[in-house]
Every structure is written in structure tokens, then in C-alpha cells.
Amino acid sequence: MEKGKVKKVKFHIKKGDKVEVISGNHKGKSGVVLEVLRAKNRAIVEGVNLVTKHIKPSAESPEGGVEKTEAGIHISNLMLVDPKTGEKTKVGRKLDSNGKLKRYSKKTEQFID
């Protein structure tokens, strides 16, 4: 593999999914995935793993200041929340009636998308 290229890996979560943190400092918190960072195997989840950033004064914000923003959290520490039941679930892939691979909940055996 060439340097700088991102290997195309299928993740069990994607942007817009509701997830829950299953390990680490933020265990038990849940939120919506804002972004998936493929190169680093991380995701940014709304309201989880907040860090403080100091902003330099600029034309947009002449006063500068301190801002709280979400940082990435490793994909392995996240688990999908089933949209139908609201419980944490493992994710699998299987063919639907059209012959297309889709994600499904292993707990309820129903398609997620």
C-alpha cells in the first residue's frame, strides 16, 4: 500500500448513527456521530470527549477565547444503538431482497438502513 493512502475499511458505524461509548473515560454516554475519521479509525460524537481549545484573536473573533469542542474517540469504543429498540447492538452485514449488502442489527435481525 502506498504511503498516504487510506485503506478502505468497512466500519460498523457511519455518520448520523446514534452510538453509545462502551469503554474509556466517557463510558455510558451516547450521542450522534458527526464525522468518521477513516485514516485514524476514530469518530467524532456529539457531546462526547469534549476538549478545551484556546482560540487566537482573529478578524472573525476579535476577542479570541476558550472553546469546548468534540475530539475523536476510537471506533472500537463505540457501539451502535438500534434505532427501533433503543438498545446497544452488534452490527452485521447481509444481502437484502435486491441483492445489496446492508447493515443489520444482530439483536433484532432487522436492517438498520
DSSP codes, 38-59:
GGGTEEEETTSSEEEEEEPP-S
pLDDT for 9 equals: 76
pLDDT for 15 equals: 95
Where the chain has pLDDT below 50, the residues are: none
**Burial class of 29 by CB neighbour count within 10 A (0 to 12, 13 to 18, 19+):** middle
The domain limits of the chain are: 9-81, 84-113
pLDDT for 1 equals: 57
The predicted model scores a pTM of: 0.81
Range 30-50 burial, b when 16+ CB lie within 10 A, else e: bbebeebeeeeebbbbeebbe
Name the architecture of domain 9-81: Roll (2.30)
Q: Are 35 and 49 in contact (CB under 8 A)?
A: no
